[in-house]
Amino acid sequence: MKIICIGRNYVAHAKEFNEAVPEEPIFFMKPDTALLRNNDPFYIPDWSNDIHHEIELVVKINRIGKNIEKRFAHRYYDEIGLGIDFTARDVQTELKKKGLPWEKAKAFDKSAVLSANFFSKSIFPDNESIKFHLDINGNTVQESHSGLMIFDFDELISHISKYVMLKIGDLIYTGTPANVGPVKIGDRLEGYLEDKKMFDFQVK
Ligand code: MG
Protein backbone atom coordinates (compact mmCIF):
# COMPACT_ATOMS: atom_id res chain seq x y z
CA MET A 1 0.00 0.00 0.00
CA LYS A 2 1.25 3.46 -0.80
CA ILE A 3 0.10 6.97 -0.04
CA ILE A 4 0.22 9.52 -2.82
CA CYS A 5 -0.28 13.15 -1.89
CA ILE A 6 -1.14 16.05 -4.14
CA GLY A 7 0.43 19.47 -3.66
CA ARG A 8 -1.18 22.83 -4.45
CA ASN A 9 -4.54 21.53 -5.66
CA TYR A 10 -6.52 24.56 -4.46
CA VAL A 11 -5.84 28.02 -5.87
CA ALA A 12 -6.25 29.78 -2.51
CA HIS A 13 -3.71 27.45 -0.87
CA ALA A 14 -1.12 27.91 -3.66
CA LYS A 15 -1.50 31.66 -3.20
CA GLU A 16 -1.02 31.61 0.56
CA PHE A 17 2.58 30.50 -0.08
CA ASN A 18 3.00 32.71 -3.17
CA GLU A 19 3.37 29.59 -5.28
CA ALA A 20 2.32 29.33 -8.91
CA VAL A 21 -0.92 27.51 -9.65
CA PRO A 22 0.31 24.26 -11.23
CA GLU A 23 -0.40 23.33 -14.84
CA GLU A 24 -0.35 19.63 -14.02
CA PRO A 25 -0.75 17.81 -10.68
CA ILE A 26 2.19 17.85 -8.27
CA PHE A 27 2.55 14.64 -6.31
CA PHE A 28 4.78 13.10 -3.68
CA MET A 29 4.52 10.00 -1.52
CA LYS A 30 4.42 8.92 2.09
CA PRO A 31 5.26 5.38 3.26
CA ASP A 32 2.73 3.19 5.08
CA THR A 33 4.56 3.99 8.34
CA ALA A 34 3.14 7.51 8.03
CA LEU A 35 -0.41 6.36 8.81
CA LEU A 36 -2.07 7.58 12.02
CA ARG A 37 -5.46 5.99 12.66
CA ASN A 38 -8.07 5.14 15.28
CA ASN A 39 -7.96 8.63 16.83
CA ASP A 40 -4.50 7.92 18.19
CA PRO A 41 -2.75 11.08 19.43
CA PHE A 42 -0.26 12.88 17.21
CA TYR A 43 3.10 13.52 18.90
CA ILE A 44 4.96 16.59 17.66
CA PRO A 45 8.43 15.43 16.60
CA ASP A 46 11.34 17.03 18.44
CA TRP A 47 13.06 18.12 15.20
CA SER A 48 10.39 20.58 14.07
CA ASN A 49 8.97 23.75 15.58
CA ASP A 50 6.27 24.26 12.97
CA ILE A 51 4.04 21.29 12.20
CA HIS A 52 1.11 22.36 10.02
CA HIS A 53 -2.28 20.72 9.55
CA GLU A 54 -3.49 20.12 5.99
CA ILE A 55 -6.99 18.65 5.85
CA GLU A 56 -7.60 16.66 2.66
CA LEU A 57 -10.16 14.44 0.98
CA VAL A 58 -8.75 10.93 0.52
CA VAL A 59 -9.59 8.59 -2.34
CA LYS A 60 -9.09 4.83 -1.90
CA ILE A 61 -8.07 2.92 -5.03
CA ASN A 62 -10.00 -0.33 -5.58
CA ARG A 63 -8.45 -1.75 -8.78
CA ILE A 64 -4.98 -2.17 -10.17
CA GLY A 65 -4.31 0.29 -12.96
CA LYS A 66 -1.62 1.82 -15.14
CA ASN A 67 -2.00 4.55 -17.77
CA ILE A 68 -5.64 5.03 -16.81
CA GLU A 69 -7.52 7.29 -19.18
CA LYS A 70 -9.42 10.08 -17.48
CA ARG A 71 -12.74 8.85 -18.84
CA PHE A 72 -12.22 5.49 -17.13
CA ALA A 73 -10.70 6.80 -13.88
CA HIS A 74 -14.05 6.74 -12.03
CA ARG A 75 -13.92 2.92 -12.18
CA TYR A 76 -10.82 2.85 -9.99
CA TYR A 77 -12.33 4.16 -6.75
CA ASP A 78 -15.55 3.76 -4.82
CA GLU A 79 -14.84 5.37 -1.50
CA ILE A 80 -13.94 8.79 -0.09
CA GLY A 81 -12.40 9.37 3.32
CA LEU A 82 -10.70 12.21 5.14
CA GLY A 83 -7.14 12.75 6.25
CA ILE A 84 -4.53 15.21 7.39
CA ASP A 85 -1.21 15.61 5.61
CA PHE A 86 0.90 16.81 8.55
CA THR A 87 3.79 18.89 7.27
CA ALA A 88 6.92 20.10 9.02
CA ARG A 89 6.73 23.53 7.42
CA ASP A 90 10.06 24.77 8.78
CA VAL A 91 11.87 21.74 7.37
CA GLN A 92 9.97 21.90 4.08
CA THR A 93 10.85 25.58 3.61
CA GLU A 94 14.56 24.78 4.01
CA LEU A 95 14.34 21.84 1.59
CA LYS A 96 12.47 23.94 -0.97
CA LYS A 97 15.14 26.66 -0.78
CA LYS A 98 17.82 24.09 -1.54
CA GLY A 99 15.78 22.40 -4.26
CA LEU A 100 15.82 19.13 -2.32
CA PRO A 101 13.07 16.48 -2.03
CA TRP A 102 10.39 17.04 0.64
CA GLU A 103 10.37 13.62 2.30
CA LYS A 104 11.78 14.69 5.64
CA ALA A 105 9.04 17.29 5.95
CA LYS A 106 6.21 15.14 4.63
CA ALA A 107 6.85 11.41 4.96
CA PHE A 108 7.75 11.17 8.63
CA ASP A 109 6.10 8.66 10.98
CA LYS A 110 2.43 9.30 11.78
CA SER A 111 2.22 12.27 9.40
CA ALA A 112 -0.80 10.88 7.52
CA VAL A 113 -3.96 10.96 9.63
CA LEU A 114 -6.65 8.73 8.13
CA SER A 115 -10.32 8.38 8.99
CA ALA A 116 -11.48 4.95 10.15
CA ASN A 117 -14.52 5.21 7.91
CA PHE A 118 -14.79 5.79 4.21
CA PHE A 119 -18.05 6.56 2.44
CA SER A 120 -19.24 5.26 -0.87
CA LYS A 121 -18.90 7.95 -3.50
CA SER A 122 -22.49 7.13 -4.48
CA ILE A 123 -23.81 8.91 -1.37
CA PHE A 124 -22.46 12.22 -2.64
CA PRO A 125 -24.78 13.76 -5.23
CA ASP A 126 -21.80 14.71 -7.34
CA ASN A 127 -18.04 14.75 -7.01
CA GLU A 128 -17.99 18.52 -7.35
CA SER A 129 -19.47 19.43 -4.01
CA ILE A 130 -18.08 17.18 -1.29
CA LYS A 131 -17.74 19.45 1.73
CA PHE A 132 -15.17 18.98 4.49
CA HIS A 133 -13.68 20.94 7.35
CA LEU A 134 -11.18 20.78 10.19
CA ASP A 135 -11.89 22.12 13.67
CA ILE A 136 -9.20 22.85 16.24
CA ASN A 137 -10.40 23.21 19.82
CA GLY A 138 -13.92 23.69 18.51
CA ASN A 139 -13.12 26.40 15.94
CA THR A 140 -13.24 25.71 12.21
CA VAL A 141 -9.81 26.49 10.75
CA GLN A 142 -10.02 24.97 7.24
CA GLU A 143 -13.19 24.49 5.23
CA SER A 144 -13.71 23.74 1.56
CA HIS A 145 -15.33 21.46 -0.99
CA SER A 146 -14.14 19.27 -3.82
CA GLY A 147 -15.42 21.67 -6.49
CA LEU A 148 -12.51 23.99 -5.68
CA MET A 149 -9.87 21.41 -6.55
CA ILE A 150 -7.78 22.43 -9.56
CA PHE A 151 -7.52 18.78 -10.65
CA ASP A 152 -10.47 16.53 -9.83
CA PHE A 153 -10.25 12.90 -8.65
CA ASP A 154 -10.35 11.51 -12.19
CA GLU A 155 -7.61 13.82 -13.47
CA LEU A 156 -5.41 12.94 -10.48
CA ILE A 157 -5.84 9.19 -10.99
CA SER A 158 -5.13 9.48 -14.69
CA HIS A 159 -2.03 11.63 -14.17
CA ILE A 160 -0.50 9.60 -11.32
CA SER A 161 -1.05 6.29 -13.12
CA LYS A 162 1.04 7.49 -16.05
CA TYR A 163 4.08 7.32 -13.76
CA VAL A 164 3.13 5.03 -10.87
CA MET A 165 0.98 1.91 -11.07
CA LEU A 166 -2.00 2.14 -8.75
CA LYS A 167 -2.94 -0.88 -6.65
CA ILE A 168 -5.86 -1.89 -4.46
CA GLY A 169 -5.78 -0.01 -1.16
CA ASP A 170 -3.55 2.82 -2.33
CA LEU A 171 -4.61 6.19 -0.94
CA ILE A 172 -4.58 9.52 -2.72
CA TYR A 173 -4.56 12.59 -0.46
CA THR A 174 -6.02 15.10 -2.86
CA GLY A 175 -4.51 18.36 -1.60
CA THR A 176 -5.40 20.89 1.05
CA PRO A 177 -7.45 24.07 0.82
CA ALA A 178 -6.28 27.41 2.24
CA ASN A 179 -5.67 28.32 5.87
CA VAL A 180 -3.13 25.70 6.80
CA GLY A 181 -1.45 26.51 10.08
CA PRO A 182 0.49 25.20 13.07
CA VAL A 183 -0.72 22.73 15.67
CA LYS A 184 0.47 22.77 19.26
CA ILE A 185 0.55 20.40 22.20
CA GLY A 186 -2.91 20.14 23.75
CA ASP A 187 -4.85 20.89 20.57
CA ARG A 188 -7.90 18.77 19.78
CA LEU A 189 -8.40 18.16 16.06
CA GLU A 190 -11.75 17.08 14.62
CA GLY A 191 -12.27 16.39 10.93
CA TYR A 192 -15.66 16.37 9.23
CA LEU A 193 -16.78 15.05 5.86
CA GLU A 194 -20.09 16.78 5.19
CA ASP A 195 -21.67 16.57 8.68
CA LYS A 196 -19.99 13.31 9.65
CA LYS A 197 -17.20 13.36 12.21
CA MET A 198 -14.36 11.34 10.71
CA PHE A 199 -11.68 11.68 13.37
CA ASP A 200 -11.13 13.33 16.73
CA PHE A 201 -7.69 13.24 18.35
CA GLN A 202 -5.22 15.15 20.47
CA VAL A 203 -1.84 16.68 19.72
CA LYS A 204 0.72 15.73 22.34
MG1 MG B 1 -1.03 18.38 1.53
CB 114 within 8 A of CB 37: yes
pLDDT at 80: 97
Domains of the chain, by residue range, sit at 3-202
- What whole-number distance in Å separates Cα of residue 119 and Cα of residue 80? 5
Whether 115 has a pLDDT exceeding 90, the answer reads yes
116 CA to middle of ligand 1, Å?
Answer: 19
59 CA to middle of ligand 1, Å?
Answer: 14
124 CA to middle of ligand 1, Å?
Answer: 23
Mean pLDDT of 190-200: 97
Whether 126 has a pLDDT exceeding 80, the answer reads no
Mean pLDDT of 94-123: 96
pLDDT at 154: 97
Which class in CATH covers the domain with range 3-202?
alpha beta
pLDDT band at 35 (very low <50, low <70, confident <90, very high): very high
pLDDT at 19: 87
pLDDT at 124: 86
pLDDT at 5: 98
